[in-house]
Amino acid sequence: MKILVLGGDGFCGWPTALHLSDIGHDVQIVDNLSRRNIDNELEVSSLTPIAPMGVRLRAWSELSGKTIAFHRFNVAEQYHRLLSLLREWEPDVVVHFAEQRAAPYSMKSSWHKRYTVNNNLNATNNLLAAVVESEIDAHVVHLGTMGVYGYGTAGMKIPEGYLRVKVDTPDGEVEQEILYPPNPGSIYHLTKTQDQLLFAYYVKNDRLRVTDLHQGIVWGTQTAQTERDERLINRFDYDGDYGTVLNRFLMQAAVGHPLTVHGTGGQTRAFIHIQDTVRCIELAISDPPARGDRVRILNQMTETHRLSDLAALVSKLTGAEIAYVENPRNEAAENDLHVANDQFLHLGLQPITLAEGLMQEVTEIAEKYRARCDMEKIPARSLWTQAPVKA
């Protein structure tokens, strides 16, 4: 199949592009290199030494004999460039990763809120409008987030996208299935709940075929493809904005810093290994919705952990101490989380567990590259709310 990967230079996009190329698809990448530019803004670097796109693609070509074309443009701003590409190449699938994806970054300042809303919503709307205007029948596969659900669910297992509810009407109780009521925890997560409404509308009005993948927190760095050559290595973010919780712990352990747990550590979150991410994208592509189907929503996660338990696990593996610090986020101190992921298990996903893969991350990534770490960048500094309002 011809697969266009929007955001194919990013942490999930790059290994996805390689994986899909490796299993025989014809892959092209669109990216405006925004993630690398944000590194410049934040004065941070990936712990792993990521190669420029040109080097990455030449290395992949040398190793695999396959060519991945690269188009550098901004999906949120350059609609006609995207439209032309869809018309000329007529991809069968468009995988949409072209969004700003860090919650703390989206809360850093008013500018960051506005950038995230403007970029993410225009990127998604441009893609959907372009698929309609180009009249191609591409399956759109979008990376959503578990964060659309919020984390307070009264002991209920979070279903895959839709919730069955009962409503009292004059004719008695009526049951219907609705999009799970959103409860986003940051501007970034908010944009993904707004994306859901875009998908639902275009699917209803234009009968597009859309799959939305509500992904948990990704851990791990390498996939079977990215580890074949250091020039293909994937990003490892450990900074306070883009570094997710597990990476922060690993990095802290590697450099001898206590593991900083926000608040009580009673927050429970869903996780998935990057190798499973790329496999899930493959599975989602292999099983597209039909024309006229509603948006297919799958939960892309494999296990849930309480953050204090994660810290304890990393501490046990590495000997690092644990420090409890104030939580910069505006969120519940404690929550339970039970998540349905039956659809991917049914499609054949065999999850990699933290218990299996974590030690490799510690030794092959965090310890191997620790000399590249800037410890100043580890603490989370983005606050969810600014100073209290004037009296």
Among positions 24, 166, 355, 371, the unique one binding its own copies when judged by CB under 8 A: 166
* Count of residues that bind its own copies according to CB under 8 A: 56
207 binds its own copies (CB under 8 A): yes
Identified catalytic residue from 48, 192, 260, 377: 192
Shortest reach from residue 6's CB to its own copies, in Å: 16
* Marked catalytic residue, from 145, 268, 304, 318: 145
Give the nearer residue to its own copies in terms of CB position, either 182 or 289.
182
DSSP summary character for residue 329: S
Among the listed residues 2, 338, 31, the one whose alpha carbon sits nearest the alpha carbon of residue 159 = 338
Q: What backbone torsions phi and psi does residue 208 show, to the nearest 5 degrees?
A: -70, 160
- Positive or negative, the CA dihedral 243, 249, 252, 255 is negative
- Evaluate whether 271 touches 217 at the Cβ level (below 8 Å): yes
Binding part of the chain for its own copies, among 156-164, 216-224, 254-262, 266-274 by CB under 8 A, reads 156-164
Nearest to 148 by CA among 116, 184, 114: 184
Using the rule CB under 8 A, is 363 a contact of its own copies?
no
CB of 124 to its own copies, least distance (A): 9
Question: What is the DSSP code string of 274-288?
Answer: HHHHHHHHHHHHHSP
Stretch that binds its own copies, among 125-133, 210-218, 244-252, 366-374 (CB under 8 A): 125-133
Give residues 317-356 in contact with its own copies (rule: CB under 8 A). Answer: 330
Q: Which residues contact 255 (CB under 8 A, 6 or more apart)?
A: 370, 373, 375
Q: How far is the CB of 235 from its own copies (least distance, A)?
A: 28
Which is nearest to 236 in space by CA: 8, 39, 34? 39
Question: Which of 28, 193, 211, 343 touches its own copies by CB under 8 A?
Answer: 193
129 belongs to the binding site for its own copies (CB under 8 A): yes
Q: In the set 70, 73, 201, 324, which binds its own copies (CB under 8 A)?
A: 201
**CA 384, 106, 97, 226 torsion-angle sign:** negative
Stretch that binds its own copies, among 59-67, 91-99, 170-178, 218-226 (CB under 8 A): 170-178
Strands 209-215 and 2-6, by their bridges, are unpaired
* Interface with its own copies, residue 184, by CB under 8 A: yes
Among 125, 96, 100, smallest CA distance to 111 is for 100
Contact segment (CB under 8 A) with its own copies among 139-147, 175-183, 242-250, 359-367 equals 175-183
Residue 254 CB, shortest distance to its own copies, in Å, is: 33
**What is the token pair recorded at 229?**
């050559």
Q: Does 87 bind its own copies (CB under 8 A)?
A: no
Of 105, 180, 188, 202, the active-site residue reads 188
Nearer to its own copies, 178 or 375 (CB): 178
Rounded Cα gap, residues 226 and 221, in angstroms: 9
Other Cβ atoms less than 10 A from the Cβ of 111: the count is 8
CA end-to-end span of the chain? 60
Asked if 100 touches its own copies (CB under 8 A), the answer is no
Binds its own copies (CB under 8 A): choice among 23, 55, 69, 178: 178
Active site residue 188: yes
Look-up: residue for tokens 């939960």?
A: 299
Residues 229-288 that bind its own copies (CB under 8 A): none
- According to DSSP H, which parts of the chain are helical? 13-22, 34-42, 53-64, 79-89, 103-106, 110-134, 187-206, 245-254, 274-286, 307-318, 342-347, 354-360
215 DSSP β-pair partners: 145, 300
Instruction: Confirm whether 204 is a catalytic residue.
Output: no
Nearer residue to its own copies within complex by CB, 70 or 384: 384
Minimum distance from CB of 116 to its own copies (Å)?
9
Of positions 37, 40, 61, 205, contacts its own copies by CB under 8 A: 205
Residues lying near its own copies in the complex (CB under 8 A) are found at 79, 83, 110, 113-114, 117-118, 121-122, 125-126, 129-130, 132-133, 135-137, 154-157, 163-171, 173-174, 178-179, 181-182, 184, 187, 190, 193-194, 197-198, 201, 205-207, 291, 330, 384-387, 389-390
Question: What positions carry a catalytic annotation?
Answer: 145, 188, 192
